[in-house]
A and B are shown apart, each in its own frame.
Chain A
């Protein structure tokens, strides 16, 4: 059997010592993680390895010996042979290099040496992602185990050459750990700051839930609050997915704010706010006037249809009175509109999504009378339809059996029959009038809903686009790995085969698919058939009802 040894590139020129690593269970391979140099005390090596084993959950053992001859230092071979008795192993590797040759020499079995870049493999994540805590029936492949081992042995790489410990190691970070004072200070300060911010956010979250969830601004800010709770939680991200999520929330929030500030700078230049405020009140007035004309047309003989005059007049006057109330309200508010708009526009600094949500809310408030009319018309129509269906059953002498959920025959009293027939006649002949009002107001409402839907879809897109993953894929492609490719380094006779392992980055389309953030998806929750049925019966429709995000 050929033995596969994964050898870190940084240890190619390391001094002689012990090879420390992990045997991959089930496959005939081993991963070399570091080299412990002479001189060492075997007892201390064993203690250190057992400490690390409890810290990293990786079964670290001494794999074998490594010999790198230097001028003036000879005679290690016999010493090396004795080591195999101190650290008992089922398989003892003995690798050595000779000056002038590229290939390694190995005593014992036939081996293939696969060189890998330790830092890159440690930081990389193999796709498709499998959760470590998830119990899956699929055996992880050899490659996956290698990646897992290197990633989990991070505490091993904390000892560098400046530490005054009893052991000297060589690994990718042995030249010294990279750190900066600012990063360290921020890390220290972040925990209490995060705790405080989390508490504030939870308070805000509770407050938002109290206010009605109809305003999309509140929904959006609640959504952001949930995000921030994830980002600012003092617990470090345990899995890769959590880390990506945190990072993405942060990055997309920054982008959002940047776009919002851009919008502000455009909006507040050249006095655009006051121009906007000046056009707002005439637009509202115009809408009211159009509605009034529409109602007067309905009160006459619209499109040649003959309506019941009395009911027509009643409904028409009722709605006209509402419009009158609405326009007087708008006129009352008109001096304050500019100030309000100025302060509301400042809220765009919280992000472009906020500005869009505020726009959607302003549109909703301006068309509130249309919504009211729609609700009145729909309720009247719905009542009529239910009354008609029930009285039609009475007409035929039948009744709805609630227990059996079916229509049964029933013998009615004389008075029930009489009054039932009268009411049936009345409802039947008044149906065209009510249906026309319902139709007109439903169409108006659908126009408003369509506009709001467009805004919500764009907000949704901004929220769910995973900018961080795309950026990572472009700038640091080795972080998101799909697999590996091997390159032959050196194939000399008499020496084992040397291969170089390089990381294959994930495809962009897979990145998008894998890292889509689940949002409060405001796709319509009814299918077309259900929507049509609801419209026909007269139930109120809220096609863009937003579900709260409870996943992940």
Chain B
């Protein structure tokens, strides 16, 4: 360690840690302040268990959203739900959500006018309604297995690429993947109206709900866990009505995600060993000839 014994260091000029000046010391000389600026784990935060559990709620509720969507689709495919009813419910939910959004964001400056919002809504509805006959016939020639596999892949991609840190403008890839999956599934339904309904539901669940949730978290912090729990229960319940084992699996997965993973995270924090600081040159003083044979 080139800390103290510099080769005949003249004590007249003190050594400075700069590279642009010619000093009477060799280039790799460091004085006793070797590794003084080394810091360990300065950015390691101490997580508290319940705070982490709260945050995990977001991931859990997203998974449950997918489960809710799947439930809706299965019910419509089997004919348990009438499309027009679902459509009216969706419309009601949308208006409710919009109202809640406006109430919660009262003090904020609006970045879009109400007219722009209305325009967007009209475009959605017109486009989807106009294209739903075409969309219905899209996967006619594709086999069922392929359609299911494609949808599953796409929903997985949606979950993986979801911007959990900043969900308010929904990420491109996640939203597109979810919409692609919903179009694939919707084209398997018996009628054009079914397709239209399915797409409207997809839009509500995947595009508009995360924005509302984010607004709720910002403005009314206390409501977020209740909303997440509600969604999870809805997901498990819906899946349970179709496939009880699936509901069991889903609840197990959610519990693991919500309770076990944060425990793991907190527990493993103690093994963190990050070093920070500037570099110092080291001089090897050991006899390394024993490695040569």
Real complex partners, A and B? yes
Partner-B contacts on A (CB < 8 A): 306-310, 394-397, 411-412, 414-415, 417-422, 424-426, 429-430
Known A308-B137, A429-B138; judge A418-B207 contact (CB<8 A). yes
Shortest beta-carbon distance from B225 to chain A in Å = 27
Shortest beta-carbon distance from A53 to chain B in Å = 82
Q: Which residues of B contact A307 (CB under 8 A)?
A: 141
Q: Which residues of B contact A424 (CB under 8 A)?
A: 176, 180
Q: Which residues of A contact B142 (CB under 8 A)?
A: 306, 429
- B171: interface (CB < 8 Å): yes
Asked if B175 and A309 sit within 8 Å, CB to CB, the answer is no
Asked if A426 and B135 sit within 8 Å, CB to CB, the answer is yes
Q: Which residues of A contact B137 (CB under 8 A)?
A: 308-310
State in angstroms the CA–CA spacing of A418 and B169 once bound together. Answer: 13
Asked if B169 and A411 sit within 8 Å, CB to CB, the answer is yes
Known A397-B172, A397-B173; judge A422-B128 contact (CB<8 A). yes
Partner-A contacts on B (CB < 8 A): 120, 123-124, 127-128, 131, 134-135, 137-142, 169-173, 175-176, 179-180, 183-184, 203, 207
Interface of A is mostly: helix
Give 19 new A-B contacts, CB below 8 A, not counting A417-B172, A422-B128. Answer: A306-B141, A307-B141, A308-B137, A309-B140, A395-B176, A397-B171, A397-B172, A397-B176, A412-B172, A414-B120, A414-B169, A418-B175, A421-B175, A421-B176, A424-B176, A425-B135, A426-B134, A426-B135, A429-B139
State in angstroms the CA–CA spacing of A426 and B183 once bound together. Answer: 9
State in angstroms the CA–CA spacing of A418 and B199 once bound together. Answer: 10
By beta carbon, the residue of chain B nearest A415 is B120
State in angstroms the CA–CA spacing of A397 and B138 once bound together. Answer: 24
Asked if A425 and B180 sit within 8 Å, CB to CB, the answer is yes
Q: Which residues of B contact A396 (CB under 8 A)?
A: 172-173, 176
Closest 6 CB pairs of A and B: A397-B172, A306-B141, A429-B138, A421-B179, A425-B183, A421-B176
Asked if B183 and A422 sit within 8 Å, CB to CB, the answer is yes
Q: Which residues of A contact B128 (CB under 8 A)?
A: 422
State in angstroms the CA–CA spacing of A419 and B128 once bound together. Answer: 9
Asked if A417 and B141 sit within 8 Å, CB to CB, the answer is no
Asked if A422 and B171 sit within 8 Å, CB to CB, the answer is no
State in angstroms the CA–CA spacing of A420 and B173 once bound together. Answer: 12
Asked if B169 and A419 sit within 8 Å, CB to CB, the answer is no
Q: Which residues of A contact B169 (CB under 8 A)?
A: 411, 414
Known A414-B207, A422-B183; judge A394-B138 contact (CB<8 A). no
Shortest beta-carbon distance from A411 to chain B in Å = 7
Shortest beta-carbon distance from B202 to chain A in Å = 10
By beta carbon, the residue of chain B nearest A307 is B141
State in angstroms the CA–CA spacing of A425 and B127 once bound together. Answer: 14
State in angstroms the CA–CA spacing of A411 and B131 once bound together. Answer: 25
Asked if B140 and A417 sit within 8 Å, CB to CB, the answer is no
Asked if A422 and B135 sit within 8 Å, CB to CB, the answer is yes
State in angstroms the CA–CA spacing of A424 and B131 once bound together. Answer: 12
Known A397-B171, A418-B124, A425-B183; judge A308-B176 contact (CB<8 A). no
Shortest beta-carbon distance from B238 to chain A in Å = 25
Known A309-B137, A425-B138, A426-B134; judge A415-B173 contact (CB<8 A). no
By beta carbon, the residue of chain A nearest B202 is A418
Shortest beta-carbon distance from A29 to chain B in Å = 79
Asked if B123 and A394 sit within 8 Å, CB to CB, the answer is no
Shortest beta-carbon distance from A428 to chain B in Å = 9
Q: Which residues of B contact A412 (CB under 8 A)?
A: 172
The winner among A422, A425, A429 for most chain B CB atoms within 10 A is: A425
The winner among A307, A414, A430 for most chain B CB atoms within 10 A is: A414
By beta carbon, the residue of chain B nearest A409 is B172
State in angstroms the CA–CA spacing of A307 and B141 once bound together. Answer: 6
Q: Which residues of B contact A430 (CB under 8 A)?
A: 138
State in angstroms the CA–CA spacing of A396 and B174 once bound together. Answer: 9
Asked if B127 and A422 sit within 8 Å, CB to CB, the answer is yes
A selection of 14 A-B contacts at a CB cut-off of 8 Å is: A306-B140, A308-B137, A308-B140, A308-B141, A309-B137, A396-B172, A412-B172, A419-B123, A421-B179, A422-B128, A425-B184, A426-B131, A426-B135, A429-B142
Shortest beta-carbon distance from B119 to chain A in Å = 8
By beta carbon, the residue of chain B nearest A398 is B172
State in angstroms the CA–CA spacing of A306 and B131 once bound together. Answer: 21
Shortest beta-carbon distance from A455 to chain B in Å = 42
